[in-house]
A and B are shown apart, each in its own frame.
Chain A
């Protein structure tokens, strides 16, 4: 671990990966909340011709002209996609897909046509040059710094600044555009501004990490955050944090474990994290939900067993041990282990639970027949199901109901 931090080349890679992940995951939250995460994908690819044209027109590899070209390409892309959606009545996703693939292909062809002699090539567009971060340095106010670190840091500062300045405006625009418009917010301008920000983010991260990672970092960490959070602020924090975790884990595993492409490993790591979140998120995860459901079924089975054995014990019979390889069986084992049932009869606290449940059952049956007017053959089943859901306060209500209906008979008829 120490030797990683001591190795300057390695450290630079790590820093770039972290910066890129945070930058992308912040704008990603905005896009995800607008159900437009794919816009990140589109922009990351669609800016390529702008980058190249910026290069072609000025003939230099200065950052500024390429940046401007890319931002123009991003705006062009979103305008065309919007136009197709509104005027040609295309589906939003389809419009975006058509436009960005066309632009991206145009960009690839431009690269092949104009940049044969130099070191811009098509494959670095896909996965970037993060491995060489340390060796592409630039002068920054007298300091020699890796170029990617400078550009991505600028993008990150811009993102953070805009996020803090327009926090509530962007939130309203995403959540309820009609409120935003009715209170006079320039919704269109704000949304375009967001696009520019996405373009700046994409372009600045592009050289270092390539389009794969830009797309992954814009889409995946915000999705994870969306599963875990229910507030805008916490979603941004969690998104950035997930981005950092995938950046660090991805970089280290790429260099030390599989000796492979760094951006690819980062994207893969974030995908794995997403899978973990989908499965394990405490509130909405698949497994916790299934677990809670199963716990509930066990509880129902336990209560039913207790009630049944209580009824049987009153006529001096015993409950027969159920098949142990079923939910009821597991519930039985639990009851025997904690001593609520012994010799097929309820004991101690088990007895109390059984009595309460039976009281709930009869209360509900009476309520259903007298108040809801259900015929007697419709009472058993629903009472059996609903008895487990009645809590104390509902029981008190039912009992009061009972009393009032007794005190003045024949009112319900």
Chain B
């Protein structure tokens, strides 16, 4: 199998006394498009935070391309949940993407033409170049997601984490985001996405990570996204069970919205 992008070993994370993640062991292979799935409060966003380095785990370690994450030079791109961004902030689209270049620029240096050009290139890669001087609040949901993806590209991130990019977007937007994701995969980037819609997992992702405080299962969607695993992930949560049951039904009938692989 191909090399490992993210390796998580015995990771435990707690907010005060309340454990949020319990000894997670998982490897995410390079170039995979991986969904993180689980009920509310399962620790999905926290897991992303640990990989990103914004959360300090209580125990365990994370390796990025075989280097411990605190010593890794690898930049990890992050596309935040839409509600967590201040869309009234006085920045234009290009400014946001330029922020991806700040780290390599280092302290006390101002971004110049090289950074501008690079940022524009990254914006073009997600098809947003002509909107570069818009204030970010004026964009539609899908465009906002793409700006942050462009910023991850500007960071030259081999690993990109996204927190629910598909939440509350319309069908057309979902399609554009999917196209961008396909491009990222073509570039051999590793993309990890917190995802809620169980119906679309099989169509969108080749890897899946089922989480409910503990790791329930992880691996290729075909073998991991099974009835048993879903029930173990969502067991006890009655409202979500319906949705899980629907997904299970579809797995059993061997159908999915669009048969994967027949493009």
- Identify the A interface with B (CB < 8 A): 33, 35, 165, 167-169, 171-172, 174-176, 178-179, 181-185, 226, 229-232, 234-235
Contact = CB atoms under 8 A, between A and B. Distances in A.
Contact of B91 (A165, A167, A175, A183): A175
A322 B53 CA distance: 68
B102 A176 contact: no
B95 A231 contact: yes
Interface of B: 49, 52-54, 75-76, 78, 80, 84-86, 88-92, 95-96, 99, 102-103, 105, 107-108, 110-111, 135, 151, 155
A184 to B, nearest CB: 7
Given A178-B54, A230-B135, A169 B107 contact: yes
A278 to B, nearest CB: 15
Contacts of B54: 178, 181-182
Given A168-B102, A184-B103, A232-B95, A226 B90 contact: yes
Contacts of A179: 78, 99, 151
A231 B110 contact: no
B99 A175 contact: yes
A176 B99 contact: yes
A184 B84 CA distance: 20
Contact of A231 (B90, B99, B111): B90
Contacts of B95: 231-232
A28 B85 CA distance: 21
Looking at B89, B90, B95, the one whose CB has the most chain A CB atoms below 10 A away is B90
30 contacts: A33-B89, A165-B108, A167-B110, A168-B99, A168-B105, A169-B102, A171-B91, A171-B99, A172-B99, A172-B102, A175-B91, A175-B99, A176-B80, A176-B99, A178-B84, A179-B99, A179-B151, A181-B53, A182-B54, A182-B76, A183-B75, A183-B102, A184-B53, A184-B103, A185-B103, A230-B135, A231-B91, A232-B90, A232-B91, A235-B90
Contacts of B105: 168
Given A178-B78, A229-B90, 13 more contacts: A168-B99, A168-B110, A169-B102, A174-B89, A175-B89, A175-B91, A178-B54, A179-B99, A182-B53, A183-B103, A226-B90, A231-B95, A232-B95
A178 to B, nearest CB: 5
B110 A178 contact: no
Contact of B90 (A35, A165, A183, A230): A230
Nearest to A178: B54
A38 B234 CA distance: 43
Nearest to B109: A168
B42 to A, nearest CB: 20
Nearest to A232: B90
A230 B96 CA distance: 12
A230 B92 contact: yes
A174 B76 CA distance: 19
- What are the 3 closest A-B residue pairs judged by CB atoms, nearest first? A230-B135, A183-B103, A181-B54
Contacts of B76: 182
Contacts of B135: 230
A175 B107 CA distance: 18
Contacts of A182: 52-54, 75-76, 78
B85 A176 contact: yes
B86 A175 contact: yes
A183 B80 CA distance: 15
Contacts of B75: 182-183
Contacts of B107: 169
A229 B89 CA distance: 10
Contacts of B99: 168, 171-172, 175-176, 179
B157 to A, nearest CB: 10
Contacts of A185: 103
Contacts of A35: 86
B96 to A, nearest CB: 8
A165 to B, nearest CB: 6
